[in-house]
């Protein structure tokens, strides 16, 4: 294994994947926020805003999907720890007439962070918007899935630079 990989916590000394042992880490309040964007055609955005899809309310279904996905992150990402989540929240904001921002926040009182839970929630909420709207707009684009901030833990807080 090269020097660069020796800093990756999910690799053992031989380079094999491993789950990090967090047993000795302190239990602290952890939070993470993430975002994703869905860009769509004007008619699609209008239909989402006016709840005109036969499948149901696009944003409410996407909210439930994001929350559920955040809660099940350890089942989706192989080396993630199962966490006793205090909350997962999913919100929506139209930043442009055809560009929907999905903002998520995950909270836990635990030994490891909730960054992946916030990112998975944002990703699955965005995919759900796509799924709900694909019958009228297959050209939608999901983009800019990213961690915005995290708090708690031994490495301290992080905030994405503007």
- Asked if residue 15 belongs to a domain, the reply is no
Position 104 scores a pLDDT of 98
Name 33's bridge partners.
105, 149
Q: pTM of the prediction?
A: 0.89
- Asked if residue 3 belongs to a domain, the reply is no
The DSSP-derived string for 37-81 is EEE--HHHHHHHHTT--TT--HHHHHHHHHHHHHHTHHHHSTTPP
- Asked if residue 19 belongs to a domain, the reply is no
- Asked if residue 66 belongs to a domain, the reply is yes
Query: In the structure, what pLDDT confidence band is assigned to residue 13 with cuts at 50, 70 and 90?
Result: confident
Mean pLDDT of 33-41: 98
Separation of alpha carbons 77 and 120, rounded Å: 9
- Asked if residue 50 belongs to a domain, the reply is yes
Separation of alpha carbons 39 and 141, rounded Å: 5
Separation of alpha carbons 127 and 69, rounded Å: 11
Separation of alpha carbons 82 and 77, rounded Å: 10
Q: Find where tokens 């961690």 sit.
A: 147
Domain hosting 104: range is: 27-159
Q: What is the CATH number of the domain that holds 63?
A: 3.30.70.640
Does position 41 have pLDDT exceeding 70, yes or no? yes
- Asked if residue 12 belongs to a domain, the reply is no
Mean pLDDT of 60-70: 98
Query: What percentage of the chain has pLDDT greater than the value 70?
Result: 93
- Asked if residue 78 belongs to a domain, the reply is yes
- Asked if residue 52 belongs to a domain, the reply is yes
Token output for 5: 């990989």
Query: In the structure, what pLDDT confidence band is assigned to residue 12 with cuts at 50, 70 and 90?
Result: confident
Catalytic annotation, residues:
131
Count of structural domains, the chain: 1
């Amino acid at each position: 294994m090269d020097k660069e990989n020796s800093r990756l916590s999910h690799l053992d000394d031989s380079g094999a994947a491993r789950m990090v042992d967090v047993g000795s880490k302190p239990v602290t309040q952890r939070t993470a926020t993430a975002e994703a964007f869905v860009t769509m055609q004007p008619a699609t955005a209008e239909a989402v805003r006016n709840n005109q899809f036969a499948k149901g309310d696009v944003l409410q279904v996407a909210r439930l999907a994001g929350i559920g996905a955040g809660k099940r992150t350890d089942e989706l990402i192989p080396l993630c720890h199962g966490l006793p989540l205090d909350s997962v929240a999913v919100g929506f904001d139209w930043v442009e007439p055809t560009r929907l921002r999905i903002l998520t926040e995950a909270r836990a009182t635990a030994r490891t962070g909730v960054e992946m839970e916030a990112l998975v929630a944002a990703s699955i909420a965005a995919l759900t918007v796509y799924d709900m709207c694909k019958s009228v707009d297959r050209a939608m684009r999901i983009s800019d899935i990213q961690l915005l901030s995290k708090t708690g833990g031994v490495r301290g807080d992080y905030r994405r630079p503007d």
